Structure 1
Amino acid sequence: MKNTTLTLTLLICAFLCKAQQIKLSGTIKDNEGQVVPFASVYIKNTTTGTSANVDGVYAFALDKGTVTIVYKAIGYKLLEKTITLSENTIENAVLTSENYTLQGVTIRGNGEDPANEIIRQAIKSRSRHLTEVDAYTTDVYIKGVQKLVGAPKKFFGRDIQKTLDLDTNRKGILYLSESTSKFSFERPGKIHEEMISSKVAGRNNAFSFNKASDLIINFYENILLENTLSTRGFVSPISDGAFLYYRYKLIGTATENGQTVNKIQIIPKREHDPAFRGTIYISDDSYHLLNAEVYLTKNTGINLLDTLNISQQFLKVENTYMPSNINFQFNGNVFGFKFEGYYVGVYSNYNIHPDFPKNHFNGEILKITKAVNKKDSLFWLNNRPIPLTAEESRDYIRKDSVAVLKTSRHYLDSVERANNKFGIVKLLVTGYTINNRYAKKSYAFDPLYRSVFYNTVEGFALKYGITYTKYLEDRKYYNIRPEARYGFSNKTFTGSLSANYFYDPVKRANVSFSAGSGIFDLNNYGSMSLLGNSINSLFFETNFSKFYKKEFANIGTARELANGLQGQIIAGYSRNTNLVNTTHFKIKDLKGETFTSNNPFNPETEKELFPTYRALTVDATLTYTIGQTYITRPDGKFYQPSKYPVIKLNYKKGISGLLNSDVDYDRVSLEVSEDRISMGMLGYSSFVAGAGKYLNNDVVYYPEQKHFRGNNSLLSKPDLRKFLFLDFYMFSTNREYAEFHYEHNFSGFLTNKVPLLRKLKLEELVGVSYLTQPVKRNYTEFYFGLQRLIFRAAYGFAYDGKRRVDHGFRLTYGF
């Protein structure tokens, strides 16, 4: 009874204490009556505060009593107000522009701007300021708004106003989202964030994609925004090499809270350098960065955007300065779609001496639970640090109302009737899909253009499949796919059925099964696409791809065993049959060209490459990503790109005797790879190094050998593991091997200096590939080229030892 009474008393006290909180709100303007957007508002001598919105309106809850409120904005004098809070206190603020003067500043005899010496001292202190806070926690509020401010009436025949739910002027908010979270940091780069609440306009069940770590921009780092808006990133104005990229001008000095603040204009030395423009504010005693108001333009190499403005304000915490808010404002124009928007982050309640529990930093950089999007309107009314604008409030009300309608069966059925309407273009080009979102299932029919092909083994052929998918709760699903294939020349019909059950998204776990028969490439990595081989065969009388028939049954499973460690095992049984050419039809007969046999080692005659054999195999793979980070959401676990290598260990065994299996071998392999290793302003590098050996190769038929990703054609898909000139089939092995691939992308470091090439935003690349095995020792390729988006052109040379054996252009497309 006593415990019950105590509990009730504590609950009542907690409620009363909460009830004593008063909402303080108001509008912040300058002395000319113009609103001051995104000004910082906080309680003096604390890190508790908020930010005004884009209209200069602020609001936050405070305990009843008398407090001193500090109003601060870049370019304005700091304002303090002592306020006695009563019910619904409204306190407007007028900020006076700060007067930065050059009074007392010494101009050197050599004509050097005094800003240069201040910057030198700031650079000298950079490393110390970068590491002076070992760890901290903070509360973070993020709001993201993306708006369309202009668009064409139609795009690919679709009415833009109706498709994007815009007003009659084709303007409106495309995305509006808010989130609150607890963010933790520990050197040398450990982060963990737990989302507390999430709200997305028009998507009541969605989780915000806001992430505090995405808003981090630390000017004490040498390179900023790397691999985001630009591959190379941008040089900080106080980086170690800043004087190579910037000129500085001291605008003036002012006094704030007893300390001298220097206002310095930063100016890129060259128009197209990856450098910021704008203004930074540096203290005169400790050389801390106090504020920054900078921007980037298309000339600097940002992708997709025309302009990006970054405003960052700092708050004094003990003897250092921490961000109080950061604001990214952007605009752009893509294919006539004019857009703009902003992301703002507000930081409060800093603790720079946290005591983290054991395993607090375990690779999980963001945790989102089911409860985060269940907060009601009352919660957001009391806990939203930045008030909504009138436009944002209307957008929430309208889209949330529409979202309720869109979950009804009547609406979903009407949408499905429109989307599921049959069309010839769909069937031919994109594939035809029948969705039933209410029942959470779909049927996807393959596009016909990929289903009709030609090769010299099957002649003209058809391959067609239908995929049925059933979506379950929490992103679980299963699919079933029947597929049939028929060759009109060899009169062979094959068919298969495959199924996959993705039963644990958090552990990325699935089980799979497949059985049937099919025609497969002799190289298990594939040689060319069916369409590419068809074009080469019909028009250039070159049949690159070689095939065999497999009747098979496979069962497998994959699962995360620990963070970054993925395990997979597949057991398979097959009957494999050699195939021969059955037709030599071609549309164009080229002089000097002739089809080769289906045996790559005996191109002139159809000699059997291997006898019909049975194979029982077990294939096990462990993949470990060093330093793997991830996001946990109720609908799955999402790995993030790692800064460290990926290690893959594979063991495959061919089992002799059991089920009349004819193969007998054991193969082990190890591969280490890493993508996008930063080289600063020089771009990034990627590499793959692999080696393997058959520990036992008593019976290894050609399809069971270790194959390599070769290339015999001018045009192909990009793949770092692919050789540019290596034959698809000739150098497979049943013994030991080692291969290495390295590529460096300069990301415009060179072409950006050439006026005519600069506008094309080309990326320069160089690379080398190496292979050694018993019949192909010391094979090396070198290449160089240019890349833009998904297209690449390269010129390369291939050497057997010191002897050049091939050279020429190679074109690639795709991701």
Structure 2
Amino acid sequence: MKKIIFLFLFLFALLVNAQTKVSGIVLDDLGEPVAFANILFKNSTEGTITNDNGRFYLESDASYNTLVVSFIGYETQTLTLNSKVNYEMEIKLAESSEQLNEVVLIAGKQSKKNNPAVDILRKIWAKKRENGVRKFKQYAFDKYEKVEFDLNTIDSALMQRKIFKGLEFVFQDLDTSKITGKTYLPIFLNETFSKVYGDNIIKEEKEEILGNKNSGFDNNQAIIAFVEDLYQDYDIYDNYLKFFDKSFTSPLSRTGIDTYNYALRDSAFIDNKWCYNIVYYPRRKNELTFKGDFWVNDSTYAIKNINLEVTKSANINWVKEIYIEQDFDVMNDSVFLLKRDYMLSDFSFKKKEKSKGVYGKRTTVYNAYEFDKEKPRDFYKKDGNPFDPEVVVKDDEFWKENRLESLNKDEKGIYKLIDTLKTVPKFKSYYNLVSILGSGYVEIDKWNLDIGSVYDVFGYNDAEGARVRLGARTYYGPNDPWRVEGYAAYGFADQKVKHGISGKFLLDNKSRLIISGGNRRDIEQLGVSLTATNDVLGRSIASSSLLTVGANNRLTNINLSALSVEVEPLTNVRVSLGANFRTLSSALPGDFSLDYVDAESVTGTSSEVKQFNVNTIVIYTPGKKTIGHGVERRDINDNYSTLLLNYTKGLKGAMNSDFNYSKLQFSYSQPWQVGGFGRLYSTVEIGKTFGEVPLGLLSVIPGNQTFFSNYGTFPNLDFYEFVTDTYASLHLEHNFNGRLFSRIPLIRKWNLREIVGLRGVWGQLSDENIALNAPANVTTPLIAPSDKVYYEYSFGIGNIFKIFRIDFNFRGNYLDTPDARPFSVTGTFGFNF
């Protein structure tokens, strides 16, 4: 009885909240679904198009009694709606017996020639740099953004699951999506109000965050960072639009005519402007494309309204649907400005129609445009943290004045719902579990302590055998001005305890002045990176890998103490000055030697290195965005480049240090979006050591004897196979994101992704360094790739079962080296869009 009453009340709510609702399927004469058919309420601009399976859902707050269904090449159907709610309609379209006199249109693929829609598209290209804020020297506007997450496809079976026992009250505020027709429950809301300034002359833009509000997660910057990274800004006039780390071809792209079918559907006055309506849909399946339509002005060729829906066959994981709609306002006869931007994403493990998931919805409203008010160049320098809670968390009065779009009933209920949920022990347990999986740490609030990372508890290597590690860190909040972290580990084979402890203190927030230091005594696989780390808690996967290729016995006992001061004088420019003292010795002397010639030793050789260094590091990360104002901040994007300059000076005699030398290193890493052809990662590294140093201080070309694909290493090189004091390396890895596989009929449905890699290194080892090391070190051959550049290439298949990737790696030369590995297979796994 309760279920019947609930169902009655639910249906009643649907009837009250919306005036007209329709859903159903469109079929042709043979009963086959008609994809991309146009569904429109008569005498309105409210409509949608059918999905790949011919299904549609359309909802309006207004009352309509007639539905118009059309598609190119078919007779238009005009249907009378007998009630306000008409679900599961079955609509059949008959093939058209007539053709329009003005335009010749056919079903399926559209011609690129003699097509009025393509002619209009070319005029959009010619005018696109003259539309919107690009027409002015300077611009400024208000920006209000709200991001919401909802549980969707909620039914009675879901509500009765044990996981929701004691949480039944959350289902009191259900609603139905106007786009998908699915029932959903709002669970999270984030609001931001900001002022944006830009200068087209100097190509600078600055966004001042004036207010930020979260539903119950004000201090959870991990969620805020995730939201910011998930929903990056985009411009529909760009050739490619980036969503979820993928580049989708824009329907307004210059390459659009090779990617989409275009058809002129209608023309009408909108806001007293004559506009054309153009429908577009992809020419091929499995590519990163959209379907939808747009209205474009007949004189300025500026977009008035556009909607984009990602096709279900697109090669993207965990996202079932993406729907975007943008509206532009007419400022005067020639200027169209973005007024509202709406984006809905349906996240789900499966792409089946009835599979449950989470909606992510972002609404951005723009207002109060101002133009040609010049500001000095220094104004655009970023200062402080844009999401500093002390600055941007505002009260209700602020939001009443600055909310450019009022919250609906469901959105208002989110704040109350989350406040209530935080008092429920069961919800706290669920939240803590997700937090542990995400961060790797177990929070103990009463001690202000985190235990972890849980992912580092167990390991294995030849020196220690099985190994366990337990760590902890102080944690009062995400913006802690200081943090102390440490761990203890035990190896069951060598029966020794290892440890690491580190402390960081933020002395000045404005300049990001940080002092840090610590000590680590452990066993490490050195030489897995050309740029040596001074992180006293760092550890490479090679040091604890359960399975390796060949003997993983070239391990080093390391006792490292470090102290450094870091400052950020300019945005994204970090300068660090530090000193460190390290003691190095072989962890398995019988298998691996770090011995070098030492005239002061009684035996003429020494097996332990004691070295004091001072070093200066400059890191420049243009375009990097961070969140937080504590000693540790979070990145919220990954499309920035990194330039690193490192100078190290070894001082002999200081703290009984053994060697006097200098080392200069430079690296440049850059991700490149190559249009619709995927993403290219590139890294260039060069370095030189001045002076004579033992093996433990030389630059080892990073090999990889694990079965894990690890960018920046050479998977067909063993550890210490190449050793240098001068080197230059290049790493290239390109992920086509399925661009090639989508054209192969037999495998296109698998949504596989192709990855190709090329890497090379050249290096030298001076006669002096060979003389210092070779006579004493008989276990490690000192070879540098000086005759010719050593190179490898690889072919990979990614997105296997959506989580696995396999790389087939080939060694290009130096095949006559003893025990050279000409071929290897590595892999990795993870959840990627």
TM-score range, shorter chain: 0.7 to 0.9
Distance 1:340 1:688, change over 3 A: closer
How far off its partner does 1:485 sit?
3.3
CA distance in 2, matches of 1:301, 1:230: 12
CA distance in 2, matches of 1:608, 1:166: 77
Superimposed CA distance per residue, residues 347-386 of structure 1 (whole angstroms, 9 cap, x where no aligned partner): 1111132333442322569823446665333443454333
Task: Report the 3-state secondary structure (helix = DSSP H, G, I; strand = E; otherwise coil) of the residue aligned with 1:287.
Answer: coil
Say whether 1:340 aligns with 2:359: yes
How far off its partner does 1:681 sit?
1.3
Partner residue, 1:299: 313
CA distance in 1, matches of 2:198, 2:622: 20
Distance 1:806 1:535, change over 3 A: closer
Say whether 1:753 aligns with 2:765: no
Amino acid of the structure 1 residue aligned with 2:148: V
Task: Report the 3-state secondary structure (helix = DSSP H, G, I; strand = E; otherwise coil) of the residue aligned with 1:755.
Answer: coil
Say whether 1:711 aligns with 2:704: yes
Distance 1:678 1:487, change over 3 A: same
Partner residue, 1:689: 684
Task: Report the 3-state secondary structure (helix = DSSP H, G, I; strand = E; otherwise coil) of the residue aligned with 1:653.
Answer: strand
Say whether 1:511 aligns with 2:504: no
1:268 corresponds, among 271, 282, 300, to 282
How far off its partner does 1:712 sit?
3.2
Superimposed CA distance per residue, residues 747-770 of structure 1 (whole angstroms, 9 cap, x where no aligned partner): 211011123332332221222111
Say whether 1:783 aligns with 2:794: yes
What is the count of residue pairs matched by the alignment?
A: 685
Amino acid of the structure 2 residue aligned with 1:796: N
TM-score by length of 1: 0.73
Distance 1:416 1:600, change over 3 A: same
Partner residue, 2:339: 324
Partner residue, 2:727: 737
Say whether 1:138 aligns with 2:134: no
Amino acid of the structure 1 residue aligned with 2:416: I
Say whether 1:362 aligns with 2:381: yes
1:471 corresponds, among 451, 460, 476, to 476
How far off its partner does 1:499 sit?
2.0
Task: Report the 3-state secondary structure (helix = DSSP H, G, I; strand = E; otherwise coil) of the residue aligned with 2:418.
Answer: helix
CA distance in 2, matches of 1:201, 1:527: 38
Asked if 1 retains the 8 angstrom alpha-carbon contact of 2:457 and 2:469, the reply is no
Amino acid of the structure 2 residue aligned with 1:732: V
Distance 1:578 1:251, change over 3 A: closer
Amino acid of the structure 1 residue aligned with 2:381: N
Superimposed CA distance per residue, residues 706-734 of structure 1 (whole angstroms, 9 cap, x where no aligned partner): 12210234x12422x1112122113122x
Asked if 2 retains the 8 angstrom alpha-carbon contact of 1:441 and 1:468, the reply is yes
Amino acid of the structure 1 residue aligned with 2:756: V
Task: Report the 3-state secondary structure (helix = DSSP H, G, I; strand = E; otherwise coil) of the residue aligned with 1:367.
Answer: coil
Task: Report the 3-state secondary structure (helix = DSSP H, G, I; strand = E; otherwise coil) of the residue aligned with 1:299.
Answer: coil
More strand by share: 1
Q: Which region of structure 1 is more displaced relative to structure 2, 685-694 or 563-572?
A: 563-572
How far off its partner does 1:283 sit?
1.4
Distance 1:655 1:298, change over 3 A: same
How far off its partner does 1:527 sit?
7.5
Partner residue, 2:643: 647
Say whether 1:797 aligns with 2:799: no
How far off its partner does 1:640 sit?
5.3
CA distance in 1, matches of 2:62, 2:500: 70
CA distance in 2, matches of 1:212, 1:96: 43
Partner residue, 1:499: 502
CA distance in 2, matches of 1:215, 1:579: 48
CA distance in 1, matches of 2:296, 2:619: 47
Amino acid of the structure 2 residue aligned with 1:695: F
Partner residue, 2:88: none
Amino acid of the structure 2 residue aligned with 1:315: D
Asked if 1 retains the 8 angstrom alpha-carbon contact of 2:586 and 2:594, the reply is no
CA distance in 1, matches of 2:588, 2:630: 52
Partner residue, 1:554: 562
Residue segments in structure 1 that go unaligned for 5+ positions in a row: 1-28, 37-71, 77-91, 421-425, 583-596
CA distance in 1, matches of 2:289, 2:738: 14
Say whether 1:574 aligns with 2:582: yes
Distance 1:212 1:125, change over 3 A: farther
Task: Report the 3-state secondary structure (helix = DSSP H, G, I; strand = E; otherwise coil) of the residue aligned with 1:300.
Answer: coil
CA distance in 2, matches of 1:103, 1:479: 76
CA distance in 1, matches of 2:717, 2:649: 27
CA distance in 2, matches of 1:487, 1:608: 34
Superimposed CA distance per residue, residues 609-655 of structure 1 (whole angstroms, 9 cap, x where no aligned partner): 95234222223321122455555768976555476642211122222
Asked if 1 retains the 8 angstrom alpha-carbon contact of 2:523 and 2:543, the reply is no
Distance 1:137 1:767, change over 3 A: same
How far off its partner does 1:674 sit?
1.0
Distance 1:133 1:93, change over 3 A: farther
Asked if 1 retains the 8 angstrom alpha-carbon contact of 2:758 and 2:791, the reply is yes
Say whether 1:243 aligns with 2:246: no
CA distance in 1, matches of 2:439, 2:277: 59
How far off its partner does 1:418 sit?
12
CA distance in 2, matches of 1:190, 1:320: 21
CA distance in 1, matches of 2:136, 2:584: 64
Query: Where does 1:363-442 land on structure 2 (aligned, <5 Å)?
Result: 363=382, 367-370=386-389, 374-401=393-420, 435-442=443-450
Partner residue, 1:807: 822
For the aligned residue pairs, the C-alpha RMSD in angstroms reads: 4.5
CA distance in 1, matches of 2:617, 2:471: 29
Asked if 1 retains the 8 angstrom alpha-carbon contact of 2:482 and 2:630, the reply is no
Asked if 1 retains the 8 angstrom alpha-carbon contact of 2:193 and 2:209, the reply is yes
Distance 1:128 1:165, change over 3 A: same
Task: Report the 3-state secondary structure (helix = DSSP H, G, I; strand = E; otherwise coil) of the residue aligned with 1:356.
Answer: coil
Q: Which region of structure 1 is more displaced relative to structure 2, 382-391 or 177-186?
A: 382-391
Say whether 1:724 aligns with 2:721: no
Q: Which region of structure 1 is more displaced relative to structure 2, 258-267 or 702-711?
A: 258-267
Residue segments in structure 2 that go unaligned for 5+ positions in a row: 1-14, 23-42, 48-60, 71-75, 77-97, 106-110, 175-182, 530-538, 597-602, 765-783
Distance 1:216 1:204, change over 3 A: closer
How far off its partner does 1:148 sit?
0.7
Distance 1:283 1:443, change over 3 A: closer
1:483 corresponds, among 479, 484, 488, to 488
CA distance in 2, matches of 1:562, 1:284: 47
1:194 corresponds, among 198, 203, 208, to 208
CA distance in 2, matches of 1:365, 1:98: 54
Query: Where does 1:632-643 land on structure 2 (aligned, <5 Å)?
Result: 639=635, 641=637
Distance 1:740 1:73, change over 3 A: farther
Distance 1:416 1:132, change over 3 A: closer
Asked if 2 retains the 8 angstrom alpha-carbon contact of 1:364 and 1:630, the reply is no
1:180 corresponds, among 187, 193, 201, to 193
Asked if 1 retains the 8 angstrom alpha-carbon contact of 2:525 and 2:542, the reply is no
TM-score by length of 2: 0.71
Asked if 1 retains the 8 angstrom alpha-carbon contact of 2:20 and 2:64, the reply is no
Amino acid of the structure 1 residue aligned with 2:187: L
CA distance in 2, matches of 1:342, 1:204: 19
Amino acid of the structure 2 residue aligned with 1:556: S
Distance 1:809 1:183, change over 3 A: same
Superimposed CA distance per residue, residues 202-243 of structure 1 (whole angstroms, 9 cap, x where no aligned partner): 34566866769946442221112x2x2352x22222221221
